[in-house]
């Protein structure tokens, strides 16, 4: 991974893909860099690339376009990327494509664009689905709940009240006919939601719940003998604060040693201080039980390890495909040069050259995800 210039940016990774809303001002689409059309032959390592896995991920995700207004532009920033109807048409054609014909299909059905920005100017991070132990019923070492979304949370799309507020979403609760901010993390940790039957599952360590929030999903080995998969189901609307920055400011972890593993180790080694540090992040994520082959991305389909990318949907159409070129998080490994599906979003994933690669489930996936802060770029595909 990039341990110096990208390290401070890497701290922002800890907001991951769990939280689709964004509280600070993101890059505006009107200031997006221009696109320039190129040929497929100019894609890095195109001749050797195996496009089957990425194309299969796209074929699974692209059905999303069938549910959208076909006349609307797929990207707010780049009209070159076509309409939802264009993508729906090419999605129908893709369903009949077999693996060996993948490259021929792509070249016949798509144009390729590069973002007019300096080479390797993008930041690509990683996320994964962690695994922990838990129980459906409270007891023994399982004392820390992961909460379901409360019914009293009210979401307000401010864009309905003013065009200047388009895309801004707030959450709160009614108290004597007044909309007030929802409970923050410290209040929830102190029992603000107790007694309302909102406990989805009980964990043995509050740190486990905090890291499930960071990733937006988790797989839990239950004391009852089976597995539970949990996925994002909203948040309390409070702004996200990356506690990695606090640990650096406190002098607890040097900036060049910062990683998700380092934060986890510090929290575990300082049990008397861990909850106070986690409470510095007032944002709290709620979950629901999910069933299926894997965690579900914002496109509504199960993510494919290594081939599903979280993007900023204002720039890259959700459920589209892009060609990724970024350094691998492990030293000595070849660059990640492959076709991937834009299947997810994330609160830290903002801007015209930003992505978060899904690595899969478990410890090995976590190692790659936790150490990925790679410079690179992506190339955008657009239906002809």
The pLDDT value recorded for residue 163 is 83
Residue 132 CB partners (closer than 8 Å, separation 6+) = 203, 204, 205, 208, 212, 218, 219, 220, 221
Q: What is the mean pLDDT of residues 177-195?
A: 95
Residue 283, CA distances (Å) to 144, 239, 280, 336 in order: 17, 6, 9, 32
CA distance 89 to 84: 9
Asked whether the predicted pLDDT for residue 21 surpasses 60, the reply is no
Residue 20 CB partners (closer than 8 Å, separation 6+) = 232, 298, 345, 346, 347
CA angle, 106 then 112 then 113, to 5°: 160
The pLDDT value recorded for residue 294 is 80
CA angle, 283 then 318 then 337, to 5°: 100
The pLDDT value recorded for residue 27 is 60
pTM value is 0.78
CA distance 377 to 358: 16
Asked whether the predicted pLDDT for residue 217 surpasses 70, the reply is yes
Domains 17-126+295-383 and 133-290 share a fold: no
The pLDDT value recorded for residue 70 is 96
Q: Are strands 321-326 and 336-344 parallel, antiparallel or unpaired?
A: antiparallel
Q: What is the mean pLDDT of residues 73-77?
A: 94
CA distance 42 to 190: 56
The yes/no answer on whether domain 133-290 falls in CATH 3.40.50.720 is no
Asked whether the predicted pLDDT for residue 273 surpasses 80, the reply is yes
- Give the start-to-end residue ranges of the domains of the chain: 17-126+295-383, 133-290
Asked whether the predicted pLDDT for residue 5 surpasses 50, the reply is no
Residue 98, CA distances (Å) to 36, 175, 272 in order: 30, 57, 56
CA distance 152 to 329: 42
The pLDDT value recorded for residue 260 is 81
Asked whether the predicted pLDDT for residue 331 surpasses 50, the reply is yes
Domain 17-126+295-383 classification at class level: mainly beta
Q: How far, rounded to the nearest angstrom, does the alpha carbon of residue 271 sit from its chain's CA centroid?
A: 28
Provide the pLDDT confidence category of residue 258 given band limits of 50, 70 and 90: confident
User: Residue 52 in 3-state DSSP?
Assistant: helix
Question: Residues 377, 325: contact at Cβ < 8 Å?
Answer: yes
Asked whether the predicted pLDDT for residue 323 surpasses 50, the reply is yes
Task: List, as one string, the DSSP characters of 331-344.
Answer: TTSPPEEEEEEEEE
Does 269 or 331 have the greater pLDDT score?
A: 269
The pLDDT value recorded for residue 203 is 97
Residue 175 CB partners (closer than 8 Å, separation 6+) = none
User: Residue 364 in 3-state DSSP?
Assistant: helix
Provide the pLDDT confidence category of residue 214 given band limits of 50, 70 and 90: confident
Long-range contacts from 333-337, C-beta under 8 angstroms, 24+ separation: 335/44, 335/45, 335/376, 336/124, 336/374, 336/376, 337/43, 337/44, 337/45, 337/49
Question: Closest Cα partner for 338 from 368, 376, 301, 300?
Answer: 376
Radius of gyration from C-alpha coordinates of the chain: 21
Calculate what percentage of the chain has a pLDDT beyond 70.
92
The pLDDT value recorded for residue 30 is 67
The pLDDT value recorded for residue 2 is 27
Q: Which of 57-71, 80-94, 134-148, 252-266 has the lowest mean pLDDT?
A: 252-266
CA distance 337 to 50: 9
Backbone torsions φ then ψ of 233, nearest 5 degrees: -140, 40
CA distance 43 to 379: 8
Asked whether the predicted pLDDT for residue 6 surpasses 50, the reply is no
Q: What is the mean pLDDT of residues 107-130?
A: 90
Asked whether the predicted pLDDT for residue 19 surpasses 50, the reply is no
The pLDDT value recorded for residue 32 is 80
Provide the pLDDT confidence category of residue 362 given band limits of 50, 70 and 90: confident
Q: Where is 321: in which H helix or E strand?
A: strand 321-326
Q: What is the mean pLDDT of residues 268-292?
A: 95
* Mean pLDDT of all residues belonging to the chain: 89
């Amino acid at each position: 991974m990039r341990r110096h210039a990208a390290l401070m940016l890497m701290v922002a990774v800890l907001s991951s893909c769990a939280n689709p809303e964004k509280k600070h001002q993101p890059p505006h689409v009107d200031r997006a860099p221009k696109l320039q059309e190129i040929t497929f032959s100019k894609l890095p390592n195109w001749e050797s690339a195996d496009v089957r896995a990425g194309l299969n991920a796209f074929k699974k995700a692209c059905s999303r376009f069938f549910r959208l207004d076909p006349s609307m532009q797929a990207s707010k920033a780049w009209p070159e990327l076509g309409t939802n109807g264009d993508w729906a048409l090419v999605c129908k054609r893709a369903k009949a494509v077999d693996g060996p014909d993948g490259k021929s299909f792509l070249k016949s059905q798509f144009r390729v664009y590069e973002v007019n920005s300096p080479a390797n100017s993008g930041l690509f991070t990683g996320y994964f689905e962690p695994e922990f132990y838990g129980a459906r019923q409270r007891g023994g070492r399982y004392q820390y709940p992961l909460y379901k979304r409360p019914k009293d949370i009210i979401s307000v799309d401010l864009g309905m009240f003013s065009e200047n507020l388009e895309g801004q979403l707030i959450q709160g609760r009614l108290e004597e006919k007044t909309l007030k901010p929802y409970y923050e993390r410290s209040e929830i940790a102190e029992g603000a939601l107790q007694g309302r039957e909102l406990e989805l599952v009980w964990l043995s360590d509050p740190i486990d719940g905090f890291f499930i929030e960071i990733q937006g999903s988790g797989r839990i080995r239950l004391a009852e003998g089976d597995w539970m998969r949990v996925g994002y189901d909203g948040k309390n609307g409070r702004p996200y604060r990356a506690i990695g920055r606090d640990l650096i400011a406190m002098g607890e972890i040097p900036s060049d040693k910062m990683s998700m593993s380092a934060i986890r180790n510090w929290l575990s080694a300082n049990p008397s201080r861990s909850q106070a540090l986690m409470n510095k992040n007032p944002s709290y994520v709620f979950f629901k039980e999910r069933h299926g082959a894997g965690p579900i991305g914002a496109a509504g389909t199960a993510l494919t390890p290594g081939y599903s990318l979280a993007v900023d949907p204002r720039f890259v159409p959700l459920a589209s495909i892009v060609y990724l070129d970024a350094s691998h998080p492990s030293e000595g490994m070849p660059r990640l040069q492959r076709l991937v599906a834009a299947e997810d979003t994330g609160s830290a994933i903002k801007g015209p050259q930003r992505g978060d690669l899904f690595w899969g489930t478990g410890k090995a996936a976590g190692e790659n995800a936790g150490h990925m802060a790679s410079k690179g770029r992506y190339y955008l595909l657009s239906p002809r």
